[in-house]
Amino acid sequence: MPSAVKQFILIAAVLAIAMVFVVQFRPGTDTQGATETCAVENDGRCIVSQSDFVTAYRMASPSGGDSDDAKSQVRPLVIEGLVQRWLLLEDAARLGVSVSEEEVTRQLSRGVARVSLPADQESFAYYIGLTGPPDGPSRSTGAIDPKTNKFDYERYKKFVQRATVKTLKDFREYQEKEVLAARMRQLVKARVRISEAEARADFTAKNAKLTVDYVKLDRAFYQRHLLDRSDDAVSKWTAENQTEVDEAFLARKESYGPECRRARHVMVRIDETAEDKDAAKKQAREKVDRAKKRLEDGDKFADVARELSEDPQSAREGGELGCFAAGKLAKPNTSKVIDDAVYALEKGKLSDVLETSFGLHVVRLDEVLSGEDAEKQGKRETALELYGKKAGEAFAAEASKQILAAAKGGKTLAAAIDAHVAELSVPGKDDKAKANVRAAMAEDAARPRVETSSEFSLGSPPFSGVDNPGQAGRMLFAIESVGGLPNDVIKLYDGYAVAQLKDKKSPGDKDWDEKRSEVIERMREEKQRDALVAYVHVLREKFAKNLAFKIPLREEPKKSAQK
């Protein structure tokens, strides 16, 4: 068929559909409608009608707007989307941009009704069942007959009656605004350009692989070995932070009453990695038996625990488990077995060897407290815990800064760590006590040491425990050369880390050739979104400084009827 004939047939089809819309959408063809109250005003002028809001809300909401999800999420998006639509229409009038009747007819004849969502939330369309074309979200009207694949006016009419609160004529005018707003969005996005050099640089940055050497400064390590636990130190800190201590104690008060019991334990782990499980258990039993024998012979529990216990959380404190009410033991490396044993013991007595999932234990009951004594003990333990966490955090923060500064000054990470640890001022009444602390520090698994990460990309955590992986990644990928250091330390969930670039691998030309088109298109979409968001922001600052919402931005929860 000649192309001229094809073009004639296409034009004729569009004109025929247009005639149907002109006839069927004339005023008075439908009496359905809604009272035209205002949903949003600006400077006293109504910019979003109630019927526009309800229509958009129904079209944008899954299940016709009745679901809880629609009420909590879709409502504010629809309101903001209509405000942004008005802004785009205002600027269209300023620029002289318009759409023709044929363009509106062409869209409706495709069985599509547009819906405005905020510029930065258009991707939300997919979550609520809308399609998301480049120029804006839309919903099918169901007006295309699946048998003939042609526009069916009766189907279209049913959609308008079911899904909106407008007459056919008013819905067409509503869609005319949507088509014009979509035209404005297209004009903004069309100005975005992505150069190949820009795309290649972005691809390289996002697909490079780094390896770093790093050292973790665990606040618990400093808390265990450097904290002054004397009564004077704890009392002084408590007095300076009394409100915080009182509030924290209230949340755990029931763990100390009406009676709490102070206990200690020595724990020996069973090597679960050993091939001979029986031999490993026998070895652990021999060690815990030695501990129990020393305790029965009169050795101080604290000394035995510090020397033999393999529970790092309590060994430093001489095996202390704290004071706890029945069923309230919450210390790490313990279980209900320990809890029950403590409440079956007489004061000063040792338990038999106990087995838990953590290992083998021997426990001693030191003291039984009740009433005011239990509360006093609870407050002291609460204060000690808070004081320890804050002091440990401060120690770790300062340590990380010292090590980073030393590494920037030319020392290796290992040398910087050794110098830092050697300079630490450890607590102790005499040289022997201080030497014991340093020996414990050297054996502590959390002692700062150099580790090497696995390869990681920009969107992945560089190593475990990082509090903000995205921020850490950006900081490390900004390092220009191997051996370089970031400008700051890395925050961990339980301390800080210092990292040094060990290796960097960048994608090659082959990788780029395979992904070139995909990368450029993704960047274009991202920049188009950003450009539209910025454009709407400027319009909002210019035209919409005095918005007044006449409807609630969020659905108010329904109050249950009082019985």
- Of the given ranges (367-371, 485-489, 550-554), which has the lowest mean pLDDT? 550-554
Tell me the per-residue pLDDT of 382-393, one tens digit each, with 9 for 90 and over: 999 899 999 999
**Cross-sheet strand order for the sheet of 450-452:** 450-452, 209-218, 495-505, 490-492
**b/e map 541-561, b = 16+ CB within 10 Å:** eebbeeeeeeeeeeeeeeeee
- Of the given ranges (64-78, 273-287, 331-345, 441-455), which has the lowest mean pLDDT? 64-78
Q: pLDDT confidence of 11, banded at 50, 70, 90?
A: very low
Higher pLDDT, 134 or 203: 203
Q: pLDDT confidence of 228, banded at 50, 70, 90?
A: confident
Q: pLDDT confidence of 558, banded at 50, 70, 90?
A: low
Q: pLDDT above 90 covers what percent of the chain?
A: 68
Between CA 294 and CA 302 the distance in angstroms is 12
Between CA 274 and CA 287 the distance in angstroms is 16
Between CA 423 and CA 406 the distance in angstroms is 13
Tell me the per-residue pLDDT of 470-485, one tens digit each, with 9 for 90 and over: 999 999 999 989 999 9
- Is residue 17 pLDDT above 60, yes or no? no
Question: In Å, how far are 247, 364, 461, 524, 551 from 329, measured between CA atoms?
Answer: 20, 14, 34, 57, 52
Q: Cα torsion at 343, 346, 348, 351 (round to 10°)?
A: -60
Q: pLDDT confidence of 60, banded at 50, 70, 90?
A: confident
Q: What are φ and ψ of residue 548, in 5° steps?
A: -130, 120
CA 368 to chain centroid: 44
- Is residue 22 pLDDT above 60, yes or no? no
**DSSP codes of every residue in 98-153:** ---HHHHHHHHHTTEEE----GGGGGGGGGGT-B--TT--EEE-S-B-TTT-SB-H
- Mean pLDDT of the 5-20 span: 44
What does the pLDDT read at residue 211? Answer: 96
Between CA 174 and CA 48 the distance in angstroms is 11
**Most distant CA pair in the chain: distance in Å?**
110
Between CA 252 and CA 268 the distance in angstroms is 29
Radius of gyration over every alpha carbon of the chain, rounded to an integer in angstroms: 36
- Is residue 18 pLDDT above 60, yes or no? no
**Would you give the end-to-end CA distance of the chain in angstroms?**
76
- Mean pLDDT of the 504-520 span: 92
Q: Return the H-helix or E-strand segment holding 321.
A: strand 320-324
The answer, yes or no, to whether the previous bond of 146 is cis (omega within 30 of 0) is no
Between CA 430 and CA 435 the distance in angstroms is 9
- Of the given ranges (50-59, 131-140, 374-383, 506-515), which has the lowest mean pLDDT? 131-140
Domains of the chain: 3-192+545-549 (no CATH), 208-219+392-505 (3.10.50.40), 230-385 (3.10.50.40)
| The two structure tokens encoding residue 78 | 């629809």
What does the pLDDT read at residue 333? Answer: 81
Angle formed by the axes of helices 168-190 and 509-543, nearest 10°? 120
Question: In Å, how far are 219, 262, 444, 455 from 448, measured between CA atoms?
Answer: 11, 32, 9, 21
Please choose, from the candidates 262, 338, 331, 265, the residue with its C-alpha nearest in 3D space to the C-alpha of residue 295. Answer: 265
273 CB contacts (<8 Å, ≥6 apart)?
none
What does the pLDDT read at residue 314? Answer: 87
Q: pLDDT above 70 covers what percent of the chain?
A: 90
3-state SS assignment for residue 263: strand
Between CA 150 and CA 339 the distance in angstroms is 76
How much helix, strand and coil, in percent to the nearest 5, is found in the chain?
Answer: 55, 15, 30
Between CA 59 and CA 263 the distance in angstroms is 65
Between CA 552 and CA 72 the distance in angstroms is 12
Between CA 184 and CA 199 the distance in angstroms is 26
Q: pLDDT confidence of 20, banded at 50, 70, 90?
A: very low
459 burial via Cβ count (<10 Å: 0-12, 13-18, 19+): exposed
Residue 517: how many CB atoms within 10 A of its CB?
10
114 with 178: CB under 8 angstroms? yes
What does the pLDDT read at residue 125? Answer: 80
342 with 365: CB under 8 angstroms? yes
Q: pLDDT confidence of 347, banded at 50, 70, 90?
A: very high
Mean pLDDT of the chain: 87
DSSP conformation class of 41: E
- Is residue 8 pLDDT above 80, yes or no? no
Q: What is the pTM for the complete model shown?
A: 0.58
What does the pLDDT read at residue 71? Answer: 60
**Cross-sheet strand order for the sheet of 547-549:** 45-49, 38-42, 547-549
DSSP conformation class of 65: G
In one-letter notation, the amino acid at residue 91 is: D
- Mean pLDDT of the 203-232 span: 90
Q: What are φ and ψ of residue 547, in 5° steps?
A: -70, 140
Question: In Å, how far are 59, 133, 519 from 506, measured between CA atoms?
Answer: 47, 34, 16
DSSP conformation class of 255: G
